[in-house]
A = this chain, B = another copy of it.
């Protein structure tokens, strides 16, 4: 409860203000869970039931979820739960036995990618996927160097935490890691500047005797503050890392599976085909499944050298859940909804014309809203106040960005216009 570096973390000073019952529950939690855990909000919340975009607390209050991107096809989605149940009551083994459903799903999933990306490996978490991508990139390139953006978050394994600068200064970057500024939102020369930064990072690596393995970017730049425009800004940087013998890897854990509205994957917006893509969070709507998708020639050297087995990765129940998620995205046209409702929500927030609202940006249902002070400067204090006031009015969202002043809005993809109206009206209410 002591990490002010984490936006929207509950802290010790918040504790004293809570009612006795919540204090007692939190005290139990702190006794039994390791102290690296964090809670959200100045007044943490406990949910007991979910349903679509809604989460319900013990007292029966409904909260509009505009934050959780894992339950992408809706909380407690009946189709996903039924698929899990059917499979769990029948069989759950692993990938060292044959399993046609695994192959079917792998074919379906890779079929959603540009044809070059035709192979997949399954893990349980996005952290494991990015960790595996690193191992594959090392084998393929013979290099070790990793380039990420200034506030990137890619996961929590030992190796991945070394290239997740958003974890804060207490988690040191690896000596083989370089950070670059994310593309500047809306800047026509964002692509050229980003590529120049990547080239400088490569030169610095080489000067230190480090060969580059990969440039890894979250294609919606979530923890950097949500950056989507102008489309195409990744093209020159991808060329730069490849020219240096490294790979361009798209972290699709957050933007993937239709969230950005115009495509299944965030990289499509930028007209670039990555050498690998990593997937996670919404893939099983909360069931732990994640993956690395890539070109066979990229996977080949790793496969020659190494056997890889992930006990729970791509098991029959995981595959059943993931398959039901794709069914839901298809049948309910959730990608279209992300595009349309996302645009409606961005326009509505922008349309408030409020002086504290700076840039409203993003793609589909991944939206960043800058909050600024009277001088047009980032206002982190206001942002924290807004996040907590929204929670008190029962709308869930959070914040990100280098100045902690960007509201992060990324609801389940079943979010509709009425939900957007409620969010907009509540935001208007809580703004000063």
Which residues from B are CB-within-8-Å of A159? 157-159
A25, B81: Cβ atoms under 8 Å?
Answer: no
Which residues from B are CB-within-8-Å of A286? 88, 92, 312, 315, 317
| A48 contacts chain B at the CB level, 8 A cutoff | yes
Nearest-neighbor residue (CB-CB) of A110 within chain B: B32
| A121 contacts chain B at the CB level, 8 A cutoff | yes
A39, B98: Cβ atoms under 8 Å?
Answer: yes
A96-B39, A315-B286 as given contacts; A31 in contact with B90, CB under 8 Å: no
- Please provide the chain A residues from 62 to 87 with a CB less than 8 Å away from any CB of chain B in the complex: 68, 70-71, 75-76, 78, 80-81, 84-85
| A259 contacts chain B at the CB level, 8 A cutoff | no
> Could you tell me the distance between the alpha carbons of A103 and B33 in the complex, rounded to whole angstroms?
8
A103-B29, A159-B158, A287-B317 as given contacts; A302 in contact with B119, CB under 8 Å: no
B310, A127: Cβ atoms under 8 Å?
Answer: yes
The contact of A36 among B38, B46, B49, B121, by CB within 8 Å, is B121
> Could you tell me the distance between the alpha carbons of A84 and B84 in the complex, rounded to whole angstroms?
9
Which residues from B are CB-within-8-Å of A158? 131, 134-135, 157-160
| A171 contacts chain B at the CB level, 8 A cutoff | yes
B68, A310: Cβ atoms under 8 Å?
Answer: no
Which residues from B are CB-within-8-Å of A300? 35
Which residues from B are CB-within-8-Å of A50? 90-93
Which residues from B are CB-within-8-Å of A44? 97-98
| A100 contacts chain B at the CB level, 8 A cutoff | yes
- Please provide the chain A residues from 2 to 50 with a CB less than 8 Å away from any CB of chain B in the complex: 2-3, 6, 9, 22, 25-26, 28-29, 31-40, 44-50
| A269 contacts chain B at the CB level, 8 A cutoff | no
B120, A312: Cβ atoms under 8 Å?
Answer: no
Distance to closest chain B CB from A129 (angstroms): 11
Which residues from B are CB-within-8-Å of A102? 29
A292, B91: Cβ atoms under 8 Å?
Answer: no
The contact of A98 among B25, B160, B294, by CB within 8 Å, is B25
Which residues from B are CB-within-8-Å of A85? 81, 84-85, 88
B156, A308: Cβ atoms under 8 Å?
Answer: yes
> Could you tell me the distance between the alpha carbons of A36 and B302 in the complex, rounded to whole angstroms?
7
Interface size on A, residues (CB 8 A): 104
The contact of A3 among B29, B160, B171, B307, by CB within 8 Å, is B307
| A118 contacts chain B at the CB level, 8 A cutoff | yes
A161-B135, A294-B34 as given contacts; A45 in contact with B306, CB under 8 Å: no
Residue from A92, A135, A280 with most neighbouring chain B CB atoms (10 Å) = A92
> Could you tell me the distance between the alpha carbons of A248 and B28 in the complex, rounded to whole angstroms?
27
Distance to closest chain B CB from A214 (angstroms): 13
| A106 contacts chain B at the CB level, 8 A cutoff | yes
Which residues from B are CB-within-8-Å of A46? 97-100
Which residues from B are CB-within-8-Å of A47? 91, 93, 97, 99
Which residues of A approach B to under 8 Å, CB–CB? 2-3, 6, 9, 22, 25-26, 28-29, 31-40, 44-50, 55, 68, 70-71, 75-76, 78, 80-81, 84-85, 88-100, 102-103, 106-107, 110, 118-121, 124-128, 131-132, 134-136, 156-161, 167-168, 170-171, 280-281, 286-288, 292, 294, 296, 299-300, 302-313, 315, 317-318
- Contacts A35-B304, A75-B92, A286-B315 aside, 12 further interface pairs with beta carbons under 8 A come to A22-B98, A33-B121, A36-B121, A36-B307, A39-B97, A50-B93, A76-B89, A84-B88, A85-B88, A125-B311, A131-B157, A134-B158
